[in-house]
Amino acid sequence: MIAAIDTPFAGLTPDAVLDAAEALGLSPDGRMFALNSYENRVYRLGRLEAEPVVLKFYRAARWSDAQILEEHALAAELVEAELPVAAPLSLGGATLHHHAAFRLAAFPLCPGTAPDLDQPGARELLGRTLARVHAIGARRRFRERPTLDVSAARRARDALRESPLLPDHMRSAYLQASTLLLEGIEAAFQAAAPLPGIRLHGDCHLGNILWQSTGPLFVDLDDCMTGPRIQDLWMFLSGTESEQQRQWREIMDGYDQFGSVEFRELGLIEALRSVRMLHHAAWIAARWADPAFPRAFPWAGEPRYWEGYVGDLRVQCEQLADPPRVG
């Protein structure tokens, strides 16, 4: 059972992908191209006399069917409101399908390019669109999806310190740095409380956006969650303090047209960056038995990576104690 969880896609051969597509009535033409994805497996699939689609095979034991269906329902709700989101196709009256040992969904193949937010008006348009997404997200609540809070960082810290991937000589240093970081994260959340949570994209970064002639199109709601609005905004800020202030103003020029962000949420930016740093390393360690991960992150198998990582955590502790002023 452990091996099956660690290598959930071992049986997902090209023939298995095509068999699943055939079972869904997609009429595959045999053309198939693996798209960039580590947590799940995603393929562009050609079809006979029809437009290509994207097939997403969900990692076993990560989300329940109910959690996946909430993801699909949010995407459908956003599309119904004419928002640019890639939502799963309904095939035979369902969006989530089971075939052999796999769960999968089909999505339309959406055109687009990598975003360039330095183009005139791009950040304002992004902010305006996200505000509309959040307005829909605030209409109701998730019942099954996770909530973003301090416990997510704590679980990541505990998981990594127990992982054999973390070199023994770095365990004490990691524990010290991560514990200090957790204290800062908890303090930031306490200072910002109470904040109402809404349904969010959850992993809103440039890699999950396609840019079209009309603006951004959001893809991959796999990590949608309940949390503060700032979670879908902070990853678009980078650079010096003055650069982040400019970027924030441009985003808010659009966001304020359809929504608002409470000022105290800005105090969570570095805390959320810290949560992501803890989670990303723990995620790689947890998935290391999946052959795709050593191929994609070979440096994680080297002690010097973890030495640098702990150094980055220490720097982030300083950043969290004296964060750049954004708003």
For residues 41 and 94, what is the distance between their CA atoms, to the nearest angstrom? 20
pLDDT at 122 (0 to 100)? 98
Judgement on whether residues 282 and 172 belong to the same structural domain of the protein = yes
15 burial (CB, 10 Å; 0-12 / 13-18 / 19+) is: exposed
The domain spanning residue 184 has which CATH number? 1.10.510.10
pLDDT at 2 (0 to 100)? 33
Is residue 203 flagged as an active site residue?
Answer: yes
Which of 220, 222, 232, 290 is an active site residue? 220
Give the tens place of pLDDT for each residue, 47-56.
999 999 999 9
Residue 73 belongs to what domain range? 2-108
pLDDT at 196 (0 to 100)? 84
pLDDT at 3 (0 to 100)? 36
pLDDT along the chain (327 residues), means of 10: 64 96 96 94 96 97 97 98 97 96 97 96 98 97 96 95 96 97 96 92 97 96 97 95 96 96 94 97 96 95 97 96 87
Task: Give bridge partners of residue 199 from the DSSP assignment.
Answer: 226
Is residue 220 flagged as an active site residue?
Answer: yes
Give domain status of residue 116, yes or no: no
Outline where DSSP puts E strands in 150-214.
198-200, 209-212
Give domain status of residue 327, yes or no: no
33 burial (CB, 10 Å; 0-12 / 13-18 / 19+) is: exposed
pTM: 0.94
Whether cis (ω within 30° of 0) applies to the bond prior to 194 is: yes
Judgement on whether residues 155 and 68 belong to the same structural domain of the protein = no
pLDDT at 179 (0 to 100)? 97
pLDDT at 1 (0 to 100)? 27
Distances (CA, A) of 120 to 124, 126, 237, 282: 9, 12, 16, 37
Judgement on whether residues 29 and 88 belong to the same structural domain of the protein = yes
Judgement on whether residues 42 and 177 belong to the same structural domain of the protein = no
Give domain status of residue 234, yes or no: yes
Domain boundary among 56, 79, 108: 108
Distances (CA, A) of 153 to 173, 243, 277, 300, 311: 17, 28, 9, 20, 18
At 36, phi and psi to the nearest 5?
A: -70, 110
pLDDT at 235 (0 to 100)? 97
Q: Which residue has the tokens 């095979």?
A: 57
Number of domains into which the chain is organized: 2
The domain spanning residue 71 has which CATH number? 3.30.200.70
Which of 168, 203, 223, 232 is an active site residue? 203
Those residues whose C-beta lies under 8 Å from the C-beta of residue 162, and which sit 6 or more positions away, are none
H or E segment to which residue 28 belongs: strand 28-34
pLDDT at 5 (0 to 100)? 63
pLDDT at 87 (0 to 100)? 98
Which amino acid, one-letter code, is at 196?
P
